[in-house]
A = this chain, B = another copy of it.
Amino acid sequence: MEPETETVTEIEPVAETEVEDKAARGMAELVAIVEALIFVADEPITTKLLAEVLGEDRDAVEAAVSELQKEYESRESGLQIREIAGGWQIATRTELHEEVRKFLKTRPSAKLSLASLETLAVIAYKQPVTVPEILEIRGVQSASAIKTLLEKRLIVTKGHKETVGRPMQYGTSKEFLIQFGLKDLTELPSIEDFEDLAG
């Protein structure tokens, strides 16, 4: 596969000796590579950087990007190649914002911030448990985490505790069992279950 650009025909100095495989790339291939790099980049990627990484002229890269843009437009893709902050980026097409937003809002997920996860862990193992008790264990206020967990329906209220101030008690829900693939609460591992693994 390695082209190794034999520099025998030195009639036209087709540039590039170092970076090799430039000459070997056809336009279609360059377009594909550019697409892949824009896709994996965490931030908009500049023409300059693309040219550097690929050992190509900026002109060639420009041409590839604009080819790519045309492709996306002509096939009426749900995505677009757009220029932003001086670089290129793949993004969803503006017209689809509504669907995209709806999806992002409703996607189910067991994804939790660390604070929520901590709170959930305390509730799972200490249920039924009150807010002051959670505070005592975590050492941090957990009000917003509890709100999140209630919204995600991972916890439910379990009545008031018969003590000063009658604070509300919380426990995990059926949804919690489903999301975490547990048949019932006895399936929750105990700390001892993992003690042997500590080695």
Which A residues have a C-beta under 8 Å from some C-beta of B?
Answer: 1-5, 7, 19, 28, 31-37, 39-41, 49, 53-54, 69, 71, 73, 75-83, 90, 92-96, 98-100, 102-104, 106-108, 131, 143-144, 146-147, 150, 156-160, 168, 181-183, 186-187, 189, 193-194, 196-199
CB closest residue in chain B, given A71: B75
Q: How far is the CA of A198 from the CA of B115 in the complex (A)?
A: 16
Q: What are 14 contact pairs spanning A and B, CB under 8 A? A: A37-B99, A39-B78, A40-B92, A41-B103, A53-B106, A71-B75, A75-B75, A131-B196, A143-B196, A147-B194, A157-B189, A159-B182, A160-B187, A160-B193
Known: A144-B199, A181-B156. A28 touches B80 (CB 8 A): no
Q: With the chains together, A73 CA to B198 CA distance in Å? A: 48
Q: DSSP class of A's interface residues: helix, strand, loop or mixed?
A: helix
Q: Are A77 and B198 in contact (CB under 8 A)?
A: no
CB-CB under 8 A from A76, the residues of chain B are 28, 32
Q: Are B147 and A197 in contact (CB under 8 A)?
A: yes
For A106, the chain B residues whose CB sits under 8 A away are 53
Q: List the number of copies, as a whole number.
A: 2
Task: Give every chain B residue within 8 A of A92 (Cβ-Cβ).
Answer: 36, 39-40
A40 and B103 within 8 A (CB): yes
* Beyond known contacts A49-B107, A53-B99, A159-B182: 12 more, CB 8 A cutoff: A3-B73, A3-B82, A5-B93, A7-B95, A33-B99, A37-B103, A40-B103, A41-B103, A71-B75, A75-B75, A147-B199, A168-B189
Question: How far, in whole Å, are A94 and B79 apart by their CA atoms in the complex?
Answer: 21
A40-B77 in contact (CB<8A): no
> Are the C-beta atoms of B144 and A83 separated by less than 8 Å?
no
